[in-house]
Structure 1
């Protein structure tokens, strides 16, 4: 099987490393020739070009570009492909991608591996990035079952735990556990540096330790990715932010009114439930 990867950043590069190690013929496409050369030097891919025409003989293609480039990438490659070629993507938003992607290409399957690091670029690609990572397939009514099985088989082969969902439910779930945390974390940093006292800011920076490091990590990461989360999952993210705001108001009210028992119940509940999100 020949597998194509469009976009050789952290995700595409790490995917290439794992697939090449498994013996697949991996063909990479990047906008930058320098990225292609690095991918070849590191054995991330078997072949690499800046020209989409190199994908002509592929059986399966992973679109590993930023969200905004997924559909344009599909439009650019399909003229080179056999009708049997399967296309999937790795975008963290599915509702705005899957329906249009399937209209463009009948063998399109939406997928989303929940894996990554704070690093970017092909230089950051690493083996086993997807080991034990959840990966969601988001079929719709006319998604090819054969294509789904093939995509699931490849993700499973590099260590992913597979789940199926609708694009809509997927987007609601990732809004809560991925996109909302980015905005909350970013607001934590933003609030700390905009509290009106440079002396306080400086002391806070000097005192910040593991708690701040853990809670601020995703808010201090990839700006482009955070912005695209907000743009492409806007509706679900806004709903989550509003509900989060309501719950935060309840906590503020409990502290203002010294309802310590109620606050203790909330903290006890969150302590009990946290492990269920970290399996």
Structure 2
């Protein structure tokens, strides 16, 4: 089976490494010649090009571009594809993408691998990025079953944990556990940088260790990704941010009132609830 990948960054590149290791023929397309050459050198793809015509031989195409470029990429791809070609994407928002792309291409299956790092570019690609991590597929009523099965087969070969859900349900869920943490983490960094005393700020930066590293990681990632999350999942992110603000207000009130028993109860609850998400 020939598999095409449009966008040879962290996700597209990691997909290429895994799929080639599994014996698939992988064809890649990037906007930059340097990226194409580097992808070939690293063994990410068997062949790469700036031209989408390379993917005419692909049976399945993974679109790994930024969210805003997914639908335009599909439009550009259409003249080069066989009607049987299956398209899928890796965007972290699903309803907006599915609503835009499904009318353009019948054999489209929305997808979202829940994996990544703060690094970007083809040199950030790693083998095994998706292993044991969730990979969400969001077919709708009109999505052909054979197309879904084909994408599912490939995703399962990555040893990902496959989940199926409606695009809208996906967006509400990831707003809470993926998109909200990006905004909260960015807010944490911004709050720390607002310290007015330069001596205290420098000391805080020197003392920051694993706790700050863990809680600030996603806020220090690719700004473009954060913008796309907010732009294309705006309603769900606002809902999650409002809920989070309410939780912060409750904590502030407990500390202001020195209600230590109630604060302890709240922290005991969150301690017991955290494993449900891991």
* TM-score bracket for the superposition, by shorter chain length: over 0.9
CA offset digits 1:214-269 (Å, max 9, x no partner):
11111111111111111111111011001111111011111111121211111111
Note if contact 1:99-1:140 (Cα within 8 Å) is conserved in structure 2.
no
Deviates more, 1:140-149 or 1:101-110: 140-149
CA offset digits 1:68-104 (Å, max 9, x no partner):
1111111110111010000000000001101221100
In the aligned structure 1, how far is the partner of 2:263 from the partner of 2:51?
A: 58
Deviates more, 1:108-117 or 1:252-261: 252-261
2:229 alignment partner in structure 1: 229
Q: Does 1:266 align with 2:266?
A: yes
CA RMSD, aligned part only?
0.8
1:181 alignment partner in structure 2: 181
Moved over 6 A (4+): none
The count of residues paired between Structure 1 and Structure 2 equals: 278
Q: Secondary structure at the match of 2:126?
A: coil
Q: Secondary structure at the match of 1:104?
A: coil
Note the 1:187-266 alignment, pairs <5 A: 187-266=187-266
In the aligned structure 1, how far is the partner of 2:74 from the partner of 2:275?
A: 39
1:138 alignment partner in structure 2: 138
CA offset digits 1:27-81 (Å, max 9, x no partner):
1000001111111111111111000011111110000011111111111101110
CA offset digits 1:153-188 (Å, max 9, x no partner):
101001110000101110011100011001111111
Note if contact 1:18-1:158 (Cα within 8 Å) is conserved in structure 2.
yes
In the aligned structure 2, how far is the partner of 1:5 from the partner of 1:210?
A: 36
In the aligned structure 2, how far is the partner of 1:72 from the partner of 1:200?
A: 48
Deviates more, 1:252-261 or 1:100-109: 252-261
TM-score normalised by length of structure 2: 0.98
Gapped regions of structure 1 (runs ≥ 5): none
Alpha-carbon distance, 1:196 to partner: 2.1
Q: Does 1:166 align with 2:166?
A: yes
Note the 1:40-119 alignment, pairs <5 A: 40-119=40-119
Note if contact 1:35-1:122 (Cα within 8 Å) is conserved in structure 2.
yes
